A and B are shown apart, each in its own frame.
Chain A
Amino acid sequence: MTEFTPLTALLGGALIGASALLLLIFNGRIAGISGILHSAIQPIDNDRLWRWLFLLGLMLGVFFAMNPATPLPTDIEASWPLIIIAGLLVGFGSKMGNGCTSGHGICGIGRLSSRSIVATIIFMLTAALTVFITRHIVGA
Protein backbone atom coordinates (compact mmCIF):
# COMPACT_ATOMS: atom_id res chain seq x y z
CA MET A 1 0.00 0.00 0.00
CA THR A 2 1.22 3.50 -0.82
CA GLU A 3 -0.31 6.78 0.31
CA PHE A 4 -1.63 9.40 -2.09
CA THR A 5 1.01 12.16 -2.05
CA PRO A 6 -0.47 15.08 -3.99
CA LEU A 7 2.05 17.79 -3.09
CA THR A 8 5.22 15.86 -3.90
CA ALA A 9 3.51 14.49 -7.03
CA LEU A 10 2.77 18.02 -8.26
CA LEU A 11 6.23 19.29 -7.37
CA GLY A 12 8.03 16.30 -8.91
CA GLY A 13 5.87 16.50 -12.02
CA ALA A 14 6.62 20.22 -12.38
CA LEU A 15 10.36 19.47 -12.29
CA ILE A 16 9.97 16.76 -14.93
CA GLY A 17 7.98 19.16 -17.11
CA ALA A 18 10.61 21.90 -16.60
CA SER A 19 13.36 19.43 -17.51
CA ALA A 20 11.66 18.49 -20.78
CA LEU A 21 10.91 22.13 -21.61
CA LEU A 22 14.50 23.22 -20.95
CA LEU A 23 15.92 20.51 -23.22
CA LEU A 24 13.52 21.43 -26.03
CA ILE A 25 13.85 25.23 -25.85
CA PHE A 26 17.64 25.29 -25.66
CA ASN A 27 18.74 22.14 -27.48
CA GLY A 28 15.72 21.34 -29.63
CA ARG A 29 15.54 17.81 -28.24
CA ILE A 30 12.76 15.71 -26.78
CA ALA A 31 13.34 14.33 -23.25
CA GLY A 32 12.16 10.81 -24.03
CA ILE A 33 14.15 8.51 -21.79
CA SER A 34 13.80 5.34 -23.86
CA GLY A 35 14.94 7.13 -27.02
CA ILE A 36 17.86 8.87 -25.31
CA LEU A 37 18.91 5.62 -23.65
CA HIS A 38 18.73 3.58 -26.82
CA SER A 39 20.61 6.13 -28.93
CA ALA A 40 23.24 6.53 -26.21
CA ILE A 41 24.34 2.90 -26.60
CA GLN A 42 24.42 2.76 -30.41
CA PRO A 43 28.04 2.40 -31.60
CA ILE A 44 27.53 4.41 -34.81
CA ASP A 45 25.60 7.34 -33.36
CA ASN A 46 27.88 10.39 -33.42
CA ASP A 47 25.65 12.56 -31.24
CA ARG A 48 25.96 10.55 -28.06
CA LEU A 49 27.69 12.89 -25.63
CA TRP A 50 24.66 15.05 -24.71
CA ARG A 51 22.65 11.87 -24.17
CA TRP A 52 25.22 10.43 -21.79
CA LEU A 53 25.30 13.74 -19.91
CA PHE A 54 21.50 13.81 -19.66
CA LEU A 55 21.48 10.26 -18.29
CA LEU A 56 24.34 11.04 -15.90
CA GLY A 57 22.43 14.14 -14.78
CA LEU A 58 19.32 12.04 -14.20
CA MET A 59 21.23 9.70 -11.91
CA LEU A 60 22.88 12.62 -10.10
CA GLY A 61 19.44 14.15 -9.60
CA VAL A 62 18.14 10.91 -8.11
CA PHE A 63 21.21 10.73 -5.88
CA PHE A 64 20.71 14.32 -4.61
CA ALA A 65 16.98 13.92 -4.05
CA MET A 66 16.86 10.55 -2.35
CA ASN A 67 16.35 10.78 1.40
CA PRO A 68 14.27 8.99 4.05
CA ALA A 69 11.13 10.88 2.97
CA THR A 70 11.63 10.12 -0.74
CA PRO A 71 13.68 6.90 -0.79
CA LEU A 72 14.63 4.53 -3.56
CA PRO A 73 13.02 1.08 -3.37
CA THR A 74 15.27 -1.39 -1.57
CA ASP A 75 14.01 -4.57 -3.19
CA ILE A 76 11.25 -5.99 -5.37
CA GLU A 77 9.17 -9.09 -4.69
CA ALA A 78 8.85 -10.14 -8.33
CA SER A 79 10.66 -13.34 -9.34
CA TRP A 80 13.70 -13.29 -11.61
CA PRO A 81 11.87 -14.68 -14.67
CA LEU A 82 9.18 -12.02 -14.29
CA ILE A 83 11.80 -9.29 -13.94
CA ILE A 84 13.55 -10.38 -17.14
CA ILE A 85 10.32 -10.82 -19.13
CA ALA A 86 9.01 -7.41 -18.03
CA GLY A 87 12.36 -5.79 -18.87
CA LEU A 88 12.37 -7.30 -22.36
CA LEU A 89 8.76 -6.20 -22.96
CA VAL A 90 9.35 -2.63 -21.71
CA GLY A 91 12.47 -2.29 -23.88
CA PHE A 92 10.93 -3.89 -26.95
CA GLY A 93 7.66 -1.97 -26.66
CA SER A 94 9.22 1.43 -26.07
CA LYS A 95 11.53 1.04 -29.06
CA MET A 96 8.87 -0.35 -31.39
CA GLY A 97 6.29 2.23 -30.27
CA ASN A 98 8.86 5.05 -30.46
CA GLY A 99 8.51 6.22 -26.89
CA CYS A 100 7.61 5.56 -23.29
CA THR A 101 5.93 7.39 -20.42
CA SER A 102 8.18 10.44 -20.83
CA GLY A 103 8.44 10.73 -24.63
CA HIS A 104 4.78 9.99 -25.41
CA GLY A 105 3.11 10.61 -22.03
CA ILE A 106 4.63 14.03 -21.38
CA CYS A 107 6.48 15.47 -24.38
CA GLY A 108 4.12 13.99 -26.99
CA ILE A 109 0.82 14.75 -25.27
CA GLY A 110 2.20 18.16 -24.29
CA ARG A 111 2.57 18.92 -28.01
CA LEU A 112 -0.90 17.42 -28.64
CA SER A 113 0.63 14.79 -30.93
CA SER A 114 -2.10 12.38 -32.03
CA ARG A 115 0.37 9.45 -32.10
CA SER A 116 1.43 10.11 -28.52
CA ILE A 117 -2.14 10.50 -27.28
CA VAL A 118 -3.06 7.16 -28.85
CA ALA A 119 0.13 5.45 -27.58
CA THR A 120 -0.39 6.74 -24.02
CA ILE A 121 -4.03 5.64 -23.91
CA ILE A 122 -3.01 2.19 -25.20
CA PHE A 123 -0.15 1.62 -22.76
CA MET A 124 -2.08 3.00 -19.78
CA LEU A 125 -5.05 0.74 -20.50
CA THR A 126 -2.86 -2.30 -21.20
CA ALA A 127 -0.87 -1.71 -18.02
CA ALA A 128 -4.01 -1.23 -15.92
CA LEU A 129 -5.53 -4.39 -17.39
CA THR A 130 -2.30 -6.29 -16.69
CA VAL A 131 -2.36 -5.15 -13.06
CA PHE A 132 -6.04 -6.07 -12.77
CA ILE A 133 -5.36 -9.59 -14.06
CA THR A 134 -2.20 -10.22 -12.01
CA ARG A 135 -3.57 -8.76 -8.75
CA HIS A 136 -7.29 -9.52 -8.79
CA ILE A 137 -7.75 -12.56 -11.02
CA VAL A 138 -4.53 -14.63 -10.93
CA GLY A 139 -3.30 -13.28 -7.59
CA ALA A 140 -6.67 -13.39 -5.81
Chain B
Amino acid sequence: MKLVIALISGVLFGVGLTIAQMVNPAKVLNFLDIAGHWDPSLALVMASALTIFGSGYFLLVQTKDKPLLDKEFIVSKNKKIDNSLVVGATVFGLGWGLIGICPGPALAILLTGNMKFVGFFIAMLIGMQVAQKISKTNRSKSNMRIQ
Protein backbone atom coordinates (compact mmCIF):
# COMPACT_ATOMS: atom_id res chain seq x y z
CA MET B 1 0.00 0.00 0.00
CA LYS B 2 2.88 2.33 0.83
CA LEU B 3 4.22 1.75 -2.66
CA VAL B 4 0.85 2.64 -4.20
CA ILE B 5 0.81 5.88 -2.18
CA ALA B 6 4.34 6.69 -3.39
CA LEU B 7 3.24 6.16 -6.99
CA ILE B 8 0.05 8.23 -6.61
CA SER B 9 1.96 10.99 -4.84
CA GLY B 10 4.45 11.04 -7.73
CA VAL B 11 1.66 11.24 -10.30
CA LEU B 12 0.03 14.20 -8.49
CA PHE B 13 3.40 15.94 -8.32
CA GLY B 14 4.06 15.43 -12.04
CA VAL B 15 0.58 16.60 -13.05
CA GLY B 16 0.94 19.64 -10.79
CA LEU B 17 4.32 20.62 -12.21
CA THR B 18 3.04 20.31 -15.76
CA ILE B 19 -0.29 22.13 -15.28
CA ALA B 20 1.51 24.94 -13.44
CA GLN B 21 4.08 24.96 -16.29
CA MET B 22 6.97 24.83 -13.83
CA VAL B 23 8.46 22.37 -16.34
CA ASN B 24 9.09 25.38 -18.61
CA PRO B 25 12.50 26.93 -17.75
CA ALA B 26 11.47 30.22 -19.40
CA LYS B 27 8.54 30.58 -16.99
CA VAL B 28 10.79 29.97 -14.01
CA LEU B 29 13.42 32.45 -15.24
CA ASN B 30 10.72 35.05 -15.91
CA PHE B 31 9.60 34.69 -12.31
CA LEU B 32 13.16 35.24 -11.12
CA ASP B 33 13.56 38.20 -13.48
CA ILE B 34 11.96 40.89 -11.36
CA ALA B 35 13.53 43.67 -13.43
CA GLY B 36 12.21 42.24 -16.70
CA HIS B 37 8.77 41.19 -17.90
CA TRP B 38 7.91 39.60 -14.56
CA ASP B 39 5.77 36.44 -14.52
CA PRO B 40 4.57 35.93 -10.91
CA SER B 41 3.08 32.46 -11.62
CA LEU B 42 5.69 30.58 -9.56
CA ALA B 43 4.79 32.59 -6.46
CA LEU B 44 1.18 31.42 -6.78
CA VAL B 45 2.31 27.82 -7.30
CA MET B 46 4.27 28.02 -4.06
CA ALA B 47 1.52 29.85 -2.17
CA SER B 48 -1.06 27.29 -3.23
CA ALA B 49 1.18 24.29 -2.47
CA LEU B 50 2.11 25.79 0.89
CA THR B 51 -1.52 26.44 1.83
CA ILE B 52 -2.50 22.83 1.14
CA PHE B 53 0.61 21.21 2.59
CA GLY B 54 1.02 23.58 5.54
CA SER B 55 -2.60 23.40 6.72
CA GLY B 56 -2.58 19.62 6.27
CA TYR B 57 0.67 19.38 8.19
CA PHE B 58 -0.54 21.30 11.21
CA LEU B 59 -4.07 19.84 11.26
CA LEU B 60 -3.44 16.23 10.25
CA VAL B 61 0.25 15.39 10.69
CA GLN B 62 1.31 17.17 13.87
CA THR B 63 -1.69 15.78 15.70
CA LYS B 64 -0.48 12.21 15.04
CA ASP B 65 2.57 10.46 16.46
CA LYS B 66 3.02 8.23 13.41
CA PRO B 67 1.97 8.09 9.75
CA LEU B 68 -1.01 5.95 8.72
CA LEU B 69 1.10 3.26 7.07
CA ASP B 70 4.48 3.40 8.78
CA LYS B 71 6.16 3.54 12.17
CA GLU B 72 7.47 7.10 12.20
CA PHE B 73 7.60 10.41 10.37
CA ILE B 74 11.03 10.75 8.73
CA VAL B 75 11.32 14.51 9.06
CA SER B 76 14.48 16.52 9.74
CA LYS B 77 14.58 17.89 13.28
CA ASN B 78 17.83 19.72 12.62
CA LYS B 79 17.43 23.41 13.50
CA LYS B 80 21.01 24.52 12.99
CA ILE B 81 21.72 27.02 10.23
CA ASP B 82 25.15 25.67 9.32
CA ASN B 83 27.69 26.39 6.60
CA SER B 84 26.61 23.54 4.37
CA LEU B 85 23.02 24.80 4.35
CA VAL B 86 24.08 28.33 3.43
CA VAL B 87 26.71 27.30 0.87
CA GLY B 88 24.44 24.61 -0.59
CA ALA B 89 21.47 26.96 -0.98
CA THR B 90 23.70 29.62 -2.59
CA VAL B 91 25.21 27.17 -5.09
CA PHE B 92 21.76 25.76 -5.84
CA GLY B 93 20.37 29.25 -6.44
CA LEU B 94 23.23 30.08 -8.78
CA GLY B 95 22.66 26.95 -10.89
CA TRP B 96 18.88 27.40 -10.86
CA GLY B 97 19.19 31.04 -11.91
CA LEU B 98 21.51 30.18 -14.82
CA ILE B 99 19.05 27.82 -16.53
CA GLY B 100 15.72 27.80 -14.68
CA ILE B 101 15.65 24.06 -14.06
CA CYS B 102 15.45 22.48 -10.58
CA PRO B 103 15.41 18.73 -9.81
CA GLY B 104 11.65 17.98 -10.28
CA PRO B 105 11.38 19.67 -13.68
CA ALA B 106 14.80 18.20 -14.64
CA LEU B 107 13.25 14.75 -14.31
CA ALA B 108 10.00 15.76 -16.02
CA ILE B 109 11.64 17.16 -19.17
CA LEU B 110 13.62 13.97 -19.76
CA LEU B 111 10.39 12.91 -21.50
CA THR B 112 11.19 15.33 -24.32
CA GLY B 113 14.22 13.23 -25.25
CA ASN B 114 16.17 16.46 -25.85
CA MET B 115 19.87 15.69 -25.32
CA LYS B 116 20.53 18.99 -23.55
CA PHE B 117 17.96 18.09 -20.89
CA VAL B 118 19.50 14.62 -20.57
CA GLY B 119 22.92 16.27 -20.18
CA PHE B 120 21.60 18.59 -17.48
CA PHE B 121 20.09 15.66 -15.60
CA ILE B 122 23.31 13.61 -15.67
CA ALA B 123 25.39 16.64 -14.61
CA MET B 124 22.96 17.18 -11.73
CA LEU B 125 23.37 13.59 -10.50
CA ILE B 126 27.16 13.94 -10.72
CA GLY B 127 26.96 17.19 -8.74
CA MET B 128 25.00 15.40 -6.01
CA GLN B 129 27.56 12.61 -5.79
CA VAL B 130 30.42 15.12 -5.53
CA ALA B 131 28.64 16.97 -2.70
CA GLN B 132 28.09 13.71 -0.88
CA LYS B 133 31.77 12.73 -1.23
CA ILE B 134 32.85 16.10 0.17
CA SER B 135 30.48 16.00 3.13
CA LYS B 136 31.56 12.41 3.92
CA THR B 137 35.22 13.44 3.89
CA ASN B 138 34.47 16.38 6.16
CA ARG B 139 32.50 14.20 8.53
CA SER B 140 35.24 11.59 8.86
CA LYS B 141 37.77 14.40 9.44
CA SER B 142 35.70 15.85 12.28
CA ASN B 143 35.17 12.34 13.69
CA MET B 144 38.94 11.82 13.73
CA ARG B 145 39.36 15.04 15.67
CA ILE B 146 36.91 13.83 18.31
CA GLN B 147 38.81 10.56 18.70
Listed in ascending order, the chain A residues whose CB lies under 8 Å from chain B are: 1-6, 8-31, 33-34, 37-38, 41, 49-51, 53-66, 70-76, 78, 80, 82-98, 100-102, 104-115, 118-120, 122-132, 134-136
Which B residue's beta carbon lies closest to that of A47? B74
Given contacts A2-B39, A80-B116, A97-B92, contact A87 B122 (CB under 8 A): yes
Contact between A37 and B107, CB atoms less than 8 A apart: yes
For chain B residues 77-112, which have a beta carbon within 8 Å of chain A?
A: 78-81, 84-99, 101-104, 106-112
Contact between B34 and A107, CB atoms less than 8 A apart: no
Which B residue's beta carbon lies closest to that of A49? B3
Residues of A within 8 A of B81 (CB): 114-115, 118
Residues of B within 8 A of A63 (CB): 14, 111
Contact of A57 (CB < 8 Å), options: B9, B45, B70, B121: B9
B27 to chain A, nearest CB (A): 5
Contact between A98 and B88, CB atoms less than 8 A apart: yes
| A–B Cβ pairs within 8 angstroms, 11 of them | A10-B44, A23-B6, A73-B24, A78-B98, A90-B124, A93-B127, A97-B84, A100-B92, A106-B49, A111-B54, A130-B96
Contact between B93 and A130, CB atoms less than 8 A apart: yes
Residues of B within 8 A of A4 (CB): 39-41
Interface residue tally of chain B, by bracket? 35 or more
A39 to chain B, nearest CB (A): 10
Chain A interface, >50% SS class:
helix
B5, B24, B104, B116: residue with the most chain A Cβ atoms closer than 10 Å: B104
Residues of B within 8 A of A93 (CB): 87-95, 127, 131
Residues of A within 8 A of B27 (CB): 2
Binary contact readout B114-147 vs A (1 if CB under 8 angstroms, 0 otherwise): 1011011111111111111011000000000000
For chain B residues 34-76, which have a beta carbon within 8 Å of chain A?
A: 34-37, 39-42, 44-54, 56-57, 60-61, 64, 66-76
Contact between A13 and B11, CB atoms less than 8 A apart: no
Contact between B18 and A12, CB atoms less than 8 A apart: yes
Residues of B within 8 A of A62 (CB): 14-15, 17-18, 23, 108, 111
